[in-house]
């Protein structure tokens, strides 16, 4: 996994509440057995017209935001299904950070497994960042995970919370399966205890 340290890039405003995983990646794109190439399906039903042409009004199709790496979105981003295809699709199109007031649990978890940083901020901070994002390509933001800060285009700073363990994994691009496998002795001893106390399992 690619580590996440700092990111400076264009932020796209997606001012919609409850952006669900069906919106992020519609199910016709879930038939793949790979993790890559899902960018073509990202926000497909908003990004493309029925005939397959681009919808010029959708934010990521506007010239200013075609290279956006940060998404600033409304409440409860990523609600709905557990599909990890959602962060895979974001990543495939180059988006490595999503900022919202809240995220659905499973989506939030899935981001960290893929080197995407989801950031929760207060409503007033979100309003401010949304305004910044509306200014387009010249208004880049810098996200610094180590110091847990977002630097806006005018030098304004928004602080954010992050749990230590997740931060550590993301900063170092660590594979958590590898880490857990180092705890095999603890898992073994749990299993032998459980085999006695709940042998029917």
Among 82, 146, 147, 172, binds other proteins (CB under 8 A): 82
Binding range to other proteins, per CB under 8 A, among 13-21, 53-61, 64-72, 149-157: 13-21
Q: Verify binding: residue 57, other proteins, rule CB under 8 A.
A: no
Q: What value does the CA radius of gyration of the chain take, rounded to a whole number of Å?
A: 19
Q: Verify binding: residue 80, other proteins, rule CB under 8 A.
A: yes
Which of 22, 144 has the CB closer to other proteins? 22
What minimum distance in Å lies between the beta carbon of 35 and other proteins? Answer: 5
Q: Verify binding: residue 76, other proteins, rule CB under 8 A.
A: yes
Output 37-44 pairs: Cβ under 8 A, ≥24 positions apart: 37/92, 38/85, 38/88, 38/89, 38/92, 39/89, 39/91, 39/92, 39/93, 39/94, 40/92, 41/85, 41/89, 42/89, 42/90, 42/92, 42/93
What minimum distance in Å lies between the beta carbon of 129 and other proteins? Answer: 15
Task: Find all residues with CB under 8 Å of 72, minimum gap 6, and list them.
Answer: 11, 12, 13, 14, 98, 99, 100, 126, 129, 130, 132, 133
Binding range to other proteins, per CB under 8 A, among 2-10, 21-29, 64-72, 142-150: 21-29
Among 81, 98, 125, 160, binds other proteins (CB under 8 A): 81
Q: Verify binding: residue 20, other proteins, rule CB under 8 A.
A: yes
CB 140 within 8 A of CB 129: no
Restricting to residues 134-173, name those near other proteins by CB under 8 A.
163-165
Helices (H), the chain: 21-24, 44-47, 85-92, 105-112, 123-134, 164-172, 176-181, 184-197
Restricting to residues 102-131, name those near other proteins by CB under 8 A.
102-106, 109-110, 113-114
Binding stretches for other proteins (CB under 8 A): 15-18, 20, 22-23, 26-28, 30-35, 45, 50, 74-76, 79-84, 87, 102-106, 109-110, 113-114, 163-165, 176-177, 180-181, 183-184, 186-187, 190-191, 193-194, 197-201
């Amino acid at each position: 996994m690619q580590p996440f340290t700092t990111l400076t890039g264009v932020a796209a405003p997606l001012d919609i509440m409850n952006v669900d995983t069906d919106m992020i990646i519609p199910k016709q794109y879930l038939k793949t057995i790979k993790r890559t190439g899902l960018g073509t399906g990202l926000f497909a039903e908003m990004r493309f017209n029925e005939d397959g042409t681009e919808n010029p009004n959708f934010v990521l199709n506007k010239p200013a935001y075609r290279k956006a790496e940060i998404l600033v979105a409304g409440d409860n981003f990523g609600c709905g299904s557990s599909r990890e295809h959602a962060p895979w699709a974001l990543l495939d199109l180059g988006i490595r950070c999503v900022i919202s007031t809240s995220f659905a649990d499973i989506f939030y978890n899935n981001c960290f497994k893929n080197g995407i940083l989801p950031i929760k901020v207060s409503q007033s901070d979100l309003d401010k960042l949304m305004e910044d994002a509306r200014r387009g390509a010249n208004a880049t933001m810098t996200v610094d995970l180590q110091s847990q800060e977002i630097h806006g285009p005018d030098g304004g700073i928004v602080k954010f919370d992050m749990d230590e363990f997740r931060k550590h994994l993301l900063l170092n691009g660590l594979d958590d399966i590898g880490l857990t496998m180092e705890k095999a002795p603890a898992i073994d001893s749990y299993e032998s205890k459980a085999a006695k106390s709940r042998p029917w399992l």
